[in-house]
């Protein structure tokens, strides 16, 4: 199987089974790109996720674009990005067509009620994995706690928190 086809099918699968946004897809993305296909190391994965979070756009699309480029150049980037967005395009089109008929269905409500808590679990496992790989010393833990405080309590804009963290990293981190 060609690398481009593997990129497309892998990211199509990630896109198809990622409910809840980009952070919920991180565990699946990690398994597929590191364990199953060996496209990335854990360190490369963390770097790509950090870049994908800092750049404009959804983390799932940014990650697919970066990983596709890293794996197969510009064409790989396009193929992986197309793969990750296609399931959403298909689902949105189907929902648009069928929503009026099923919006009040007990089945629809039950399915969504079951999916929502699972999303939280996926996000928590991604948070745990990223935390283990990133929070390796007291300095990084303090930066994370300070960023959390500035975002949650002070309500500082996320871009400002990222910029301040980057400046801190340039000055104080090795």
CA distances (Å), 56 to each of 47, 60, 159, in order?
Answer: 16, 11, 10
> What is the per-residue pLDDT across 49-87, written as a single tens digit (0 to 9) for each?
888 888 888 888 999 999 999 999 999 999 999 999 999
Task: Give the pLDDT of residue 19.
Answer: 67
Burial of 97 (0-12, 13-18, 19+ CB in 10 A): exposed
> What is the per-residue pLDDT across 28-43, written as a single tens digit (0 to 9) for each?
889 999 999 999 998 9
**E strand or H helix that includes residue 102:** helix 59-102
Please, are residues 110 and 39 in contact by the beta-carbon 8 Å criterion? no
Task: Give the pLDDT of residue 133.
Answer: 82
Answer yes or no: is pLDDT of 18 > 80.
Answer: no
Please, are residues 72 and 42 in contact by the beta-carbon 8 Å criterion? no
Query: What CA–CA distance (Å, rounded) separates 72 from 110?
Result: 41
């Amino acid at each position: 199987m060609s690398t481009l086809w593997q990129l497309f099918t892998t990211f199509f699968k990630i896109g198809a089974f990622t409910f809840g946004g980009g952070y919920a897809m991180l565990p699946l993305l990690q398994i597929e790109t590191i364990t199953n296909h060996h496209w990335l190391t854990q360190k490369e994965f963390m770097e790509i996720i950090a870049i994908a979070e800092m750049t404009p756009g959804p983390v799932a699309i940014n990650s697919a674009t970066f990983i596709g480029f890293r794996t197969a150049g510009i064409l790989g980037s396009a193929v992986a990005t197309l793969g990750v967005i296609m399931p959403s395009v298909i689902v949105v089109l189907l929902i648009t067509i069928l929503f009026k008929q099923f919006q009040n269905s007990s089945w629809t409500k039950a399915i969504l009620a079951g999916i929502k808590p699972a999303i939280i679990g996926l996000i928590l496992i991604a948070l745990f994995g990223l935390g283990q790989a990133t929070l390796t010393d007291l300095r990084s833990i303090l930066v994370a706690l300070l960023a959390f405080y500035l975002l949650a309590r002070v309500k500082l804009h996320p871009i400002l928190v990222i910029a301040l963290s980057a400046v801190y990293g340039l000055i104080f981190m090795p």
